[in-house]
Structure 1
Amino acid sequence: MTLVLKRPLVLVGAGKMGGVLLSGWLDKGLAPKDVFVRDPSPSPEVARLIAERGIPLNFSIADIAARKPAIVLLAVKPQAMDSVLPELGALVSPDTLFLSIAAGTSLFRLKELLGGDIAGVRAMPNTPVAVGRGITVAFANAQATPEQRALAGDLLAAVGEVGWVESEPLIDAVTAISGSGPAYVFYLAECLAAAGEALGLDPALSMQLARATVSGAGEMLHQFPDEAATLRKNVTSPGGTTAAALDVLMGEGGLSPLLRRATAAARDRARALGQ
């Protein structure tokens, strides 16, 4: 897939996630002349990329508004929205899609801050987009045309898988599962390594085992078409060592109810951020 735009793309926010997206777009063939970045203090890595590719930085809002950008991607932190969005009001147009990846910020809130009705898409990517293996789930409002929704999907697909929901509140649930999910997996690796140490293994070896096991199992989930439950059963012999461990993990008060409580807490926090 090669990304080709007929009108400019505006990236507002050049931190880690904004930088990953920008790098993915350029890798997919998006012309640097079609990208405009706005951030008073981009990260050093993104600043170098912008300079190397000759991408305009901190352009005049009036100048870019006259060119009717195809899409404005909002990659700023939720707490910065109140100060950043009002100055972008001149970009509001039915022909311009606003795509936000800010956690907890509703499209209605974006409309309030921008000062007009918008064609909007709210999306939640996760950090594995940094290695091209992320997943992003998005919601498009009624003002977004099928063409605009397809454009958003193409841009998000440059860094991983893309899914859609038809109800905006479900984005908070997505945030709890995939948005925050990588941290849960990293913590699993931490706990597995600590458990190895408790069983007498050298700390370095125990962490090596944990990292390789978690990443290897993840790659099997990625490559194999089998359900996760099937893959689990394939390595569980009746009465064996894995079964003994799973009796604990799947028992009363085990991993499943714990994750349900954890993800509900994450969802509730996402909702609170949007209020």
Structure 2
Amino acid sequence: MLLRRSAPAIAILGAAAVALSACGGTNDDAPADTTATTSAAAENDGTSLPAPVADLAALTTTLASDPCDSQLTEPVIGIITYQYRALGFSADDISVDTATGTGPGTMTNCTFTIDAGAAEWTVPTVSIATLPAADNALSTAQDGGKIAPIEPAPEGLDIRPPCSENDPLNPTPCRYTRIAYDQVGLSVEEEIAATGKTFLDTTGKGRELPDSGYRTVEPVDAFGIRKLPSTEVVGDDWVMLARIAPRNMSLSQQPVDGYVITAATPAGADPAEDDNADELTDAINSYLNENTPQF
């Protein structure tokens, strides 16, 4: 497999496309190769996913000046290739191009465009935007001894909360969910608001469901956590994992090295059910977050 870097992009090009198809018939001169898929599935034997990054703070600082630095692109391409081969297909049948992009909000990202030969691969692009803690300022607003969200909220933001305002026995006032406790959280809110769609806060029970779409948000709560998990967001045709400051932060807590991983999925399908997007974002998240200091 050929690795080629040209500013501002990196590309991995397969040496040759490998056709993997089931043959309907055979003859003596050209017997069917019934082991093609089995052999491809075995390609991950003896290989493993890249070891988690040793120092996220150092990496995010590097990526601030070069979002597609090889310290990010090489392991992420390795993750993409590993996931593709795990489906049972040859790594020669996939290519990945990288280039600097923008989003969510005004964050600069590295976008990975994936050209895969197998229809089973459903993720055309995945992007990773990062922001070092030094630039990821916390909100300065306060609410009862806790950090309050950054104001004003992006225009059009609509994240419905997990509440039961219409329950006659136990009505709970509904306050729209916010996740912008730092700059990365604000960027994610801007991404959500730009869709013009309603998102549902999926934490808690007894919530009302204002629509039947796939647009959801699962914020992280600061209570009782040691290692900071990622906030999950599901749009119409994308899924996202974001390392952002959580809700209910105390005023003594510090900014975090933030990132947003966004994987595109096919239009018209349920992105929450896309195994490729789920496994890919999870693997990249594990690579970035595994060795970070406890929150």
- Normalising by the residue count of structure 1, what TM-score does the alignment of the two structures yield? 0.25
**How does the TM-score come out when normalised to structure 2?**
0.23
Greater share of helix: 1
Point out which structure has higher relative CO (alpha carbons under 8 A, 6+ apart). 2
